[in-house]
């Protein structure tokens, strides 16, 4: 009983710390205070995005990642992918039951799929390491490796978020824009047969703008509609190249390789290459001042991120016409269904020998299933101007419930990995 109480205290302290700093951020963002207003949050977020996060991720990964440790970490990308796929499946079931508007379906799928795999882990894991009830041994060693695991989680999560969730929201918002206005039949003008074949002027309602120009049509192509042209068979390699080009047009590689992802690549490169590692890492390293500077910058990342999270949540206080059933369904998916699945996946992987018996590593893998929705989903909805207010409401309620959910599940996870 005493051990369980220690685990509960060890898991609740980090959550309380997050709540206090998040509450401060929300307070500073109030219109009456306006220290963290919209403009201030955007400017600070740019500094965090381009400076603090890359320094934090690259610095911690370079200190802890080696060629040998890569063998132990290979399961993490697969684990995160499972959270995205399973969350999407649960979100699809939720959509079938609640029948939300079409433009919100991508948002719902994204909130069910993508968790906050960086910011909260960077706060919770080191804080748990420092508590006396922690089963992870030396607090300093635990904190160093825990931040490295959380940093890698942030980088992988960013790749999945901007390649998968981004396109989910884009597809549903684009489809909504294309079909949101129905043209009454009485307003349509039916031109004669010649103008059907060669329209002199195209309107956006009848034909997309890219079909309006016929200047490039040859005389052979401009035949009667019933003439048959031979169909040329396209080689398989050409089809593959065309499909790849279409995918490349829809995937924004600039966002896919975000600064945090680049920081992870740099951290891996420094840690894996022994010659560079000896130059930068360690008390006797000749260029250790670079590593020390990165550590100095990284110290500002976590508190600044948490303040911004609190400031962004104030948007949800204003409310919207979001269905209560949708919000409740997302809470059930993120805090009940996914954590239960996480226990099965992680413990099953351990039984099959896919992951080692490192309790800290298992703990981080389990936490990836219980995180609230990623804050960058709000950024994605702003890009497409689709479901912005609804996203704020979802984030407000899911992060409010997270204070209870994280405490309970963290306590259970600590007991699970220490037993």
The answer to whether residue 183 sits within a structural domain is no
Quote the DSSP letter at residue 102.
G
Least confident of 149-158, 214-223, 269-278: 214-223
Return d(Cα 320, Cα 369) in angstroms, integer.
28
Listing DSSP states for 110-168 in one string gives HHHH-B--SHHHHHHHHHHHHSTT-SSS-HHHHHHHHHHHHHHHHHHHHHHIIIIIHHH
Q: Is 163 exposed, middle or buried (0-12, 13-18, 19+ CB in 10 A)?
A: middle
Q: Using pLDDT thresholds of 50, 70 and 90, give the confidence band for residue 363.
A: very high
Angle at 262 (CA atoms; ends 76, 83), nearest 5 degrees? 25
The answer to whether residue 363 sits within a structural domain is yes
**Which is higher by pLDDT, 353 or 5?**
353
The answer to whether residue 286 sits within a structural domain is yes
Domain enclosing residue 58, as ranges: 4-177+249-418
**Would you say residue 337 has pLDDT above 80?**
yes
Q: Using pLDDT thresholds of 50, 70 and 90, give the confidence band for residue 155.
A: confident
**Would you say residue 360 has pLDDT above 70?**
yes
The answer to whether residue 211 sits within a structural domain is no
Return d(Cα 413, Cα 376) in angstroms, integer.
26
The answer to whether residue 230 sits within a structural domain is no
Q: Using pLDDT thresholds of 50, 70 and 90, give the confidence band for residue 380.
A: confident
> Residue 206, Cβ neighbours under 10 Å: how many?
13
**Would you say residue 50 has pLDDT above 80?**
yes
The answer to whether residue 215 sits within a structural domain is no
Tokens representing residue 78 in the block: 């697969």
The model's pLDDT over 90-129, given as tens digits with 9 standing for 90+, comes to: 999 999 998 888 888 888 999 999 988 877 888 888 888 8
Return d(Cα 167, Cα 175) in angstroms, integer.
12
What is the pTM for the complete model shown?
0.72
**Which is higher by pLDDT, 81 or 223?**
81
The model's pLDDT over 22-38, given as tens digits with 9 standing for 90+, comes to: 889 889 988 888 888 88
Return d(Cα 18, Cα 307) in angstroms, integer.
9
- Stated length of the chain: 419
**Which is higher by pLDDT, 375 or 407?**
407
Segments in 251-387 forming alpha helices (H): 253-256, 259-272, 274-280, 288-298, 301-313, 324-332, 338-351, 359-367, 376-384
Return d(Cα 277, Cα 65) in angstroms, integer.
10
Percent of the chain with pLDDT over 90: 16
The answer to whether residue 304 sits within a structural domain is yes
Mean pLDDT of the chain: 77
What is the per-residue pLDDT for 19?
82
Q: Is 390 exposed, middle or buried (0-12, 13-18, 19+ CB in 10 A)?
A: buried
The b-or-e profile of 74-95 (16+ CB within 10 A means b, else e) is: ebbbebbebbbebbbbbbeebb
How far are the Cα atoms of 74, 221, 249, 340, 410 from residue 369, in angstroms, in the given order?
17, 56, 31, 8, 11
The answer to whether residue 214 sits within a structural domain is no
Strand partners, 115: 373
Total of domains in the chain:
1
- The helix (run of H) or strand (run of E) holding residue 411 is helix 388-418
Return d(Cα 156, Cα 169) in angstroms, integer.
19
**Would you say residue 367 has pLDDT above 90?**
yes
CA 259 to chain centre: 14
Q: Residues near 130 by Cβ (< 8 Å), separated by ≥ 6?
A: 139, 143
- CATH number of the domain at 355, please: 1.20.1530.20
């Amino acid at each position: 009983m005493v051990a369980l109480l220690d685990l509960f205290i060890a898991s609740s302290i980090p959550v309380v710390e997050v709540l206090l700093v998040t509450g401060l951020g929300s307070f500073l963002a109030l219109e009456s205070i306006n220290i963290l207003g919209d403009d201030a949050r955007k400017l600070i977020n740019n500094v965090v995005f381009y400076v603090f996060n890359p320094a934090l991720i690259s610095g911690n990964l370079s200190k802890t990642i080696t060629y040998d440790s890569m063998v132990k970490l290979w399961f993490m990308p697969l684990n995160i992918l499972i959270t995205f796929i399973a969350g999407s499946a649960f979100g699809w079931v939720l959509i079938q039951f609640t029948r939300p508007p079409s433009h919100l379906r991508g948002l719902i799928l994204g909130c069910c799929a993508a968790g906050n795999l960086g910011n909260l882990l960077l706060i919770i894991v080191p804080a748990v390491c420092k508590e006396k009830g922690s089963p992870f041994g030396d607090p300093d060693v635990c904190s160093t490796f825990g931040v490295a695991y959380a940093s890698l989680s942030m980088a992988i999560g960013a790749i999945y978020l901007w390649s998968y969730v981004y396109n989910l929201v884009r597809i549903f918002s684009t489809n909504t824009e294309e079909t949101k206005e129905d043209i009454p039949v009485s307003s349509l003008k039916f031109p004669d047969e010649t103008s059907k074949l060669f329209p002199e002027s195209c309107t956006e309602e009848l034909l997309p703008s890219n079909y309006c120009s016929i200047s490039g049509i040859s005389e052979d192509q401009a035949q009667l509609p019933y003439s048959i042209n031979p169909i040329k068979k396209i080689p398989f390699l050409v089809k593959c190249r065309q499909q790849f080009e279409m995918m490349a047009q829809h995937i924004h590689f600039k966002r896919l390789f975000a600064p945090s992802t680049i920081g992870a690549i740099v951290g891996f490169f420094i840690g894996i290459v022994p010659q560079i590692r000896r130059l930068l890492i360690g008390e006797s390293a000749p260029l250790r001042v670079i590593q020390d500077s990165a550590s100095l910058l990284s110290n500002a990342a976590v508190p600044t991120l948490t303040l911004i999270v609190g400031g962004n949540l104030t948007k949800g206080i204003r409310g919207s016409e979001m269905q209560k059933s949708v919000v409740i369904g997302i809470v059930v998916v993120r805090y009940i269904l996914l954590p239960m699945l996480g226990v099965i996946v992680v413990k099953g992987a351990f039984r099959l020998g896919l992951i080692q018996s490192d309790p800290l590593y298992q703990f981080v893998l389990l936490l990836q299933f219980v995180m609230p929705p990623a804050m960058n989903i709000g950024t994605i909805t702003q890009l497409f101007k689709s479901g912005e207010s609804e996203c704020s409401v979802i984030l407000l309620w899911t992060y409010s419930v997270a204070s209870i959910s994280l405490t309970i599940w963290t306590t259970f996870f600590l007991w699970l990995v220490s037993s």
